[in-house]
Amino acid sequence: MQAIVLSVGTELLLGEITDTNAQYISARFRDTGIDVYKRITVGDNLTRLTAAFKEALGSSHIVIATGGLGPTDDDLTAQALSSALGRSLEFHEGAWQGMLPWFKRGGRVPAESDRKQAMVVQGGFPLPNRHGTAPGQAVLVGKGLAAILPGPPREMVPMFEEEVLPLVKEKTPGLVPLARLELKLAGITEAKIGETVRDLMECANPSLAPYAGALEVRLRIAARGPSPEEASAMVSRVEDEVRRRLGDFIYGTDSDTLESVCGKYLVKTGATLAVAESVTGGLVAHKITQVPGSSRYFRLGVVAYHPSVKASCLGVPEDAAAGNGGVNPRVARAMAEGVRAVAGTAIGLATTGFAGPGGGTPDEPVGTVHTGIAYEGGSDVDRQVFVGSRATVKEYGAQRALHVLWRYLRDLK
């Protein structure tokens, strides 16, 4: 069963807002067993919107549109749907009565233009809006379904869940949800992963597809089978084979992040952590403390930007902090050891580098990031050179620091 998601609004085309509605609907359909065939974005133009509805209705069983249900002249979704179907719009008294409490609650008298929101496509029926004034509506089209929903996510999401999804399931019995799993990898490139699992990626069901992110790669495994159990078994078989080949680089699954996985290791081992940052400007500490419960293991975060502060607060030797602008392995190591000593933690993590666009030296060019990690009985330093804007270098530097921490925690015995 196929679906098309139609997003309505010139503001979407201009990039003024992000289309979270289409993302949400696509994900929910995926989990339900509906294939989203296409997503279309159209501005507030009756001709183009009508053409988009005709295209969608002619090529898909299910069409879901969001946006354009308000009372103003540029709210054209219901009118476009009626034109595409060759049906009239009719005033629906029940829809209107459902809107009146919202006007009363807001302390205003409804205007004549508000009645536009109660106009329903002939043969269709309103979908109650329990979180706003504009009702949605649905029309049965042959064996398929067309539904138009309000644009604000706080109104759209409950209406989709409570009204539309049950209708879709009723119209399409026997759906088998897509079984899926995402493996999260760090420390390996997308190209290398492709070389390693190329044969697995050639299969259509179950499918295996890589998606590159900031210094990490997501491997999505998806399958459909005669039953949910069989589909899950297909995913598990591929997962086992991927882990056999790439297990050293897999840090988590699905919603896991490096910082959340590191947090689990820290809780499990009882270890505590302190962070000293220069180039990343507090981003490492921010990521770590985004994890609920991080106070169980995170003790201190310091942004030591100037060489004199590195020396006075963290005990970095002044000659090391002054050399190469304070960007060298010796400084990273000393910062990690220093913050560990100050905080009295099991682990100290530190970053120093050149985010650019200025600075840098022949030996340590712009984009260089040194990550130091100190622990009982030793310390290590990792050096990377990243290419990109200042924000990119900071983001990549923070991610690399978390990767260094993860590798150390993973290998703890």
Q: State yes or no: pLDDT of 106 exceeds 90.
A: no
Contacts of 58 (CB under 8 A, 6+ apart): none
- Give the mean pLDDT of 2-15: 96
Above 80 in pLDDT, residue 325?
no
Query: What mean pLDDT is predicted for residues 22-30?
Result: 95
Mean per-residue pLDDT, 319-334? 87
Per-residue pLDDT, 352: 97
pLDDT at residue 403, as a whole number? 98
More confident residue, 307 or 280: 280
Q: Is 80 exceeded by the pLDDT of residue 1?
A: no
Kindly report, residue by residue over 284-317, the tens digit of the pLDDT. 999 999 999 999 999 999 999 999 999 999 999 9
Give me the mean pLDDT over the 2-7 stretch: 96
Q: Nearest-CA neighbor of 182 among 217, 213, 150, 206?
A: 217
Give me the mean pLDDT over the 153-173 stretch.
Answer: 93
- Report how far residue 228's alpha carbon sits from residue 179's, in angstroms, rounded to the nearest whole number: 7
pLDDT over threshold 90, residue 412: no
Residue 149 predicted with pLDDT over 80: yes
Report pLDDT for 413.
Answer: 59
Whether the predicted pLDDT of 388 surpasses 80: yes
Average pLDDT over residues 204-210: 94
Helices (H), 91-227: 93-105, 153-159, 165-171, 190-196, 198-201
Domains delineated in the chain: 2-171 (3.40.980.10), 179-253 (3.30.70.2860), 258-410 (3.90.950.20)
Tell the residue number behind the tokens 């921010």, with chain if given. 286
Q: Average pLDDT, stretch 186-203?
A: 96
pLDDT tens digit sequence for 259-270: 999 999 999 999
Which comes out higher in pLDDT, residue 239 or 322? 239
Q: Is the peptide bond before 357 cis (omega within 30 degrees of 0)?
A: yes
Quote the mean pLDDT of the chain: 95
Checking if the pLDDT of 228 tops 90, the result is no
| Interval 55-79: pLDDT, tens | 999 999 999 999 999 999 999 999 9
Query: Which of 107-116, 281-290, 348-357 has the least mean pLDDT?
Result: 107-116
DSSP letter at 161 equals I
Torsion angle in degrees (nearest 10) through CA of 290, 295, 300, 302 = 10
Identify the CA nearest to 374 among candidates 331, 333, 315. 333
pLDDT at residue number 323 = 66
Q: Residue for token digits 């993302």?
A: 23
At residue 31, the pLDDT reads: 86
What integer pLDDT is reported at residue 261 of this predicted model? 98
pTM as predicted: 0.81
